[in-house]
Amino acid sequence: MANKKRILSGMQPSGPLHLGNYFGALKNWISLQDEYECFFFIADWHALTTLYEDPRKIKQFSYDVAVDWLSMGLDPEKCTLFVQSRIPEHAELHLILSMIVPVPWLERNPTYKEKQTEITNVDMSSYGFLGYPILQTADIILYKADFVPVGIDQAPHLELSREIVRRFNNLYNKRVFVEPDAKISEVPKLNGLDGRKMSKSYNNAIYLSDSEEEVRKKVQIMVTDPQRKRRNDPGEPDVCNLFPFHKIYSPAEMQAEVASTCRTAAIGCTDCKAKLVRNMTDGMRPALEKRKEIVSNPKRVMEILDEGSKKAHKVARETLREAKEAMQMADGFPS
């Protein structure tokens, strides 16, 4: 117990979670709970970078995310679940780190450039958005996390976190912070209904909270092999948007059968979809059942985040004190 390595990761509350979020991150988190000491948090301050005009939404989304986490199997008995904004040390360390990070380190961050061109409905020219990876670094190093499970898109952020840690520890001559390692998981490629990346903003997602009926309707409109225009045209599962879902939800024999009968046009997309719907709804049912139980007791959800935040706060407070001691600023001024 005492020598378990520590894991930390966070998610922005930008809406209810979809299957892409689950297979891209959450499933991996759940599998790490036993082997590591885990801290998982809702990055509500980070969500302000895009939702600053509408911060009330962040509250609802945070609750939605917590319900998604618990329904899918993050277990508060095994890991610490908390809310970023409940721990002011994240903001305080962010400020301190921002004094030692050269602006060019931030400007060359690829996700900064990408998102600025990608997100056009909100003005993303804020100072806080430029400093996003500094806040993320504070999130991680306050807990001295050894590993940070993230998607490959976050790798540059983690690299920056390591640079910041080295800079801090060198400047103040003490190894206060630990260089975190990214733990990049293999992610099955699941696209949205229209074949683009699954995303809330494309309106093409299947949500963890979708009912069986909603899943059925969504699968029915899913684009398949675009070359397969008529029922008698043979198809190619490897270019079909639907087939990756079979790979997740259908037994191996059915996957093989679907693939070969698709290629000979022995099966049509309508039948193939019906098979998938059955397996998907079966696969999703246990979590939907658990969700009913979770949402019947919203107070308990709050309590879990409360307890987790208290636990996290203790750790963060202690680390920040060490950092300020290394800087000889622990006792304020005059002292």
113 with 76: CB under 8 angstroms? no
Residue partners of 1: CB distance under 8 A and separation at least 6: none
137 burial class (0-12, 13-18, 19+ CB within 10 angstroms)?
A: buried
- Beta carbon nearer to ligand TRP, 116 or 279: 116
Binding pattern for the stretch 237-256 against ligand SF4, x by CB under 6 A and - elsewhere = x--x-xx-------------
Which segment (2-10, 117-125, 187-195, 234-242) binds ligand SF4 by CB under 6 A?
A: 234-242
Element containing residue 156 per DSSP (H, E): helix 155-171
Name which of residues 38 to 67 contact ligand TRP (CB under 6 A). 43, 46
265 with 229: CB under 8 angstroms? no
74 with 41: CB under 8 angstroms? no
Residue 219 binds to ligand SF4 (criterion: CB under 6 A) = no
Q: What is the C-alpha separation between 257 and 192, in angstroms, rounded? A: 24
Q: Which of 7, 93, 148, 294 binds ligand TRP (CB under 6 A)?
A: 148
In the 8-state DSSP scheme, what is residue 185? P
Residue 13 binds to ligand TRP (criterion: CB under 6 A) = no
Q: Which of the residues 115, 183, 247, 311 is marked catalytic?
A: 115
Size of interface with ligand TRP, in residues (CB under 6 A): 13
CB of 221 to ligand TRP, least distance (A): 28
Nearest CA-CA partner of 100 in 166, 9, 154: 166
- The residues of the shown chain that bind ligand TRP, judged by CB under 6 A, are 8-12, 43, 46, 136, 139-140, 148, 150, 154
- The residues of the shown chain that bind ligand SF4, judged by CB under 6 A, are 224-225, 228, 235, 237, 240, 242-243, 258, 262, 267, 269, 272
